[in-house]
């Protein structure tokens, strides 16, 4: 089962997205019966020391959250099957930091076709559709208040228009997956996705802001190798093309170029190593990074590099401990920090540590506690912040 858990604020659109996709799955299945199905719901309460992610220490915030994930799969013939996955979640904060609340939902529905012999199963080809909704309040990182723009600063006094829904977005697209076995220990795969993102409120009627809508095409070929009975390696390279509908391309001095639209081309190398050297212990190590090219004049060219490590330990059949650490650097080649008097280039680093402890009660219930810390360093101090969180939750999974 594929399941995506996303933080959420308003359940309406997100819940409708998941319901529509789930209904489509039922129509696709028709008279056939699902070979397997899974569903889980989480109820979580916790505290975040800086939910608005402001540059100075912001106000603490208590939150409550509900997460739901579902998946199902089945076969319509010996060679053809179907698969569905989806998730929605809603997170709400206390009134003093209510603008930190978010919502989102996601669904994917597709078919799978076995390649070659149905007994040997040398490969699988999958394709389908996907859709999602993501909503949050656009806040000013310097103040934590709703972000505002001045469409006509010449007026006296200047008019200010709040744009709280600037980044509310709906996505829709399609995907193709292919996996082929190359031998007893190795396999190859390629994943391709085509997705359009539509921002629900552009504010074009009230301001001079252009639409943020864009299309993304991603192609990721790679290989998987079983190095040992306790070790597996996955290597891939993702080629990503992002094209904006209206955002203008920028010249080398950062000024818009009339009659153009912005385009980015990214190459992302990804390496993941999974280890299970001891009974009840497993480790995952990942590296990824690469350049992004701004095709007009390179104004927004950048390089990224990230690393992560995660450990899972099961002291007993009822308990599970997870620890993870990650770090990611982003360095721009030409774009300066707007507020920097000496033209310092943009750049950031995000470091995160997280942990979680699960205790299985009698099925279908699990209780857990999770905590973490995050530090964001940025050459523009407005976007730097520290935060930590602590939460407890209960999961029902029939």
User: What topology does CATH give the domain 106-396?
Assistant: Porin (2.40.160)
What average pLDDT does the segment 221-244 reach?
A: 97
Q: What is the pLDDT of residue 224?
A: 97
CB atoms within 10 A of CB 84: 25
The confidence score (pLDDT) of residue 150 equals 81
- Copy the structure tokens of residue 7: 């933080």
- Determine the Cα–Cα distance for residues 177 and 200; give it in Å rounded to an integer: 29
Per-position DSSP letters for 299-312, written without gaps between them: TT-EEEEEEEEEEE
Q: What is the pLDDT of residue 155?
A: 54
Instruction: Return the closest-CA partner of residue 331 out of 284, 292, 382.
Output: 292
Query: Which residues are registered as beta bridge partners of 177?
Result: 126, 191
Span 196-218, pLDDT tens digits: 999 999 888 888 888 999 999 99
Q: Domain extents for the chain?
A: 106-396
Predicted pLDDT of residue 274: 98
- Look at residue 119 in the predicted model and tell me its pLDDT: 58
How confident is the model over 309-327, as a mean pLDDT?
97
Contact (CB, 8 A) for 304 and 328? yes
Lookup: tokens for 295:
């095709």
| Residue 371, both tokens | 């905590």
Q: What is the mean pLDDT of the chain?
A: 89
pLDDT tens, residue by residue, 25-75: 444 444 454 479 999 999 999 999 999 999 877 789 999 999 999 999 999
Is the bond preceding residue 270 a cis peptide, omega within 30 degrees? no
Strand ranges inside the chain, DSSP E: 34-48, 61-75, 80-93, 102-115, 123-136, 148-149, 161-162, 169-181, 186-199, 214-228, 231-244, 263-275, 281-294, 302-316, 319-336, 345-360, 365-378, 385-396
The pLDDT assigned to 109 comes to 98
Average pLDDT over residues 323-340: 95
Banded pLDDT at 158 (limits 50, 70, 90): low
27-31, 178-182, 275-279, 366-370: the lowest-pLDDT one: 27-31
The pLDDT of 351-359, averaged and rounded, is 98
Q: Strand, coil or helix: what is 334? A: strand
Evaluate whether 318 touches 359 at the Cβ level (below 8 Å).
yes
Q: Which long-range contacts (CB under 8 A, 24 or more apart) does 212-217 make?
A: 212/166, 212/167, 212/169, 212/244, 212/247, 213/244, 213/245, 213/246, 214/242, 214/243, 214/244, 214/245, 214/247, 215/242, 215/243, 215/245, 216/240, 216/241, 216/242, 216/243, 217/192, 217/193, 217/241
Which pLDDT does position 208 carry in this prediction?
80
Tokens of 155: 């007026």
Taking only the tens place, the pLDDT of each residue in 241-276 is: 999 999 999 999 999 999 999 999 999 999 999 999
């Amino acid at each position: 089962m594929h399941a995506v858990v996303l933080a959420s604020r308003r359940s309406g659109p997100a819940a409708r997205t998941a319901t529509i996709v789930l209904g489509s799955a039922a129509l696709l299945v028709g008279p056939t019966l699902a070979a397997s199905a899974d569903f889980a719901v989480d109820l979580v309460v916790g505290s975040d020391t800086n939910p608005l992610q402001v540059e100075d220490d912001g106000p603490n915030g208590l939150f409550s959250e509900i997460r739901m994930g579902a998946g199902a799969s089945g076969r319509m013939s010996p060679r053809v099957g179907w698969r569905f996955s989806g998730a929605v979640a809603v997170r709400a904060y206390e009134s003093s930091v209510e603008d930190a609340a978010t919502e989102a939902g996601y669904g994917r529905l597709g078919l799978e076709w076995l390649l070659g012999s149905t007994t040997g199963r040398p490969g699988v080809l999958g394709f389908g559709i996907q859709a999602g909704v993501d909503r949050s309040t656009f806040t000013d990182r310097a103040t934590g208040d709703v972000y505002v723009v001045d469409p006509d600063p010449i007026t006296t006094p200047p008019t200010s228009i709040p744009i709280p829904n600037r980044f509310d977005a709906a996505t829709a697209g399609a995907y193709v997956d292919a996996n082929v076995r190359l031998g007893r220990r190795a396999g190859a795969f390629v994943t391709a996705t085509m997705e359009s993102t539509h921002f629900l409120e552009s504010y074009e009627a009230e301001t001079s802001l252009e639409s943020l809508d864009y299309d993304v095409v991603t192609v990721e070929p790679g290989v998987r190798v079983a190095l040992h009975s306790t070790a597996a390696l996955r290597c891939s390279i993702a080629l990503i093309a992002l094209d904006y509908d209206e955002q203008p391309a920028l010249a080398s001095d950062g000024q818009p170029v009339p009659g153009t639209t912005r385009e980015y081309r990214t190459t992302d190398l990804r390496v993941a190593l999974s280890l299970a050297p001891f009974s009840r212990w497993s480790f995952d190590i990942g590296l990824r990074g690469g350049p992004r090219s701004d095709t007009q004049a390179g104004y927004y060219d950048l390089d990224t590099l990230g690393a992560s490590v995660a450990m899972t330990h099961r002291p007993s059949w009822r308990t599970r401990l997870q620890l993870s650490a990650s770090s990611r650097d982003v360095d721009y080649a030409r774009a300066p920090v707007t507020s920097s008097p000496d033209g310092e280039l943009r750049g950031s680093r995000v470091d995160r540590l997280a942990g979680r402890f699960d205790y299985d009660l009698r099925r279908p219930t699990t209780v857990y506690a999770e905590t973490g810390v995050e530090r964001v360093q940025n050459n523009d101090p407005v976007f730097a912040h520290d935060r930590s969180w602590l939460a407890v939750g209960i999961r029902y999974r029939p």
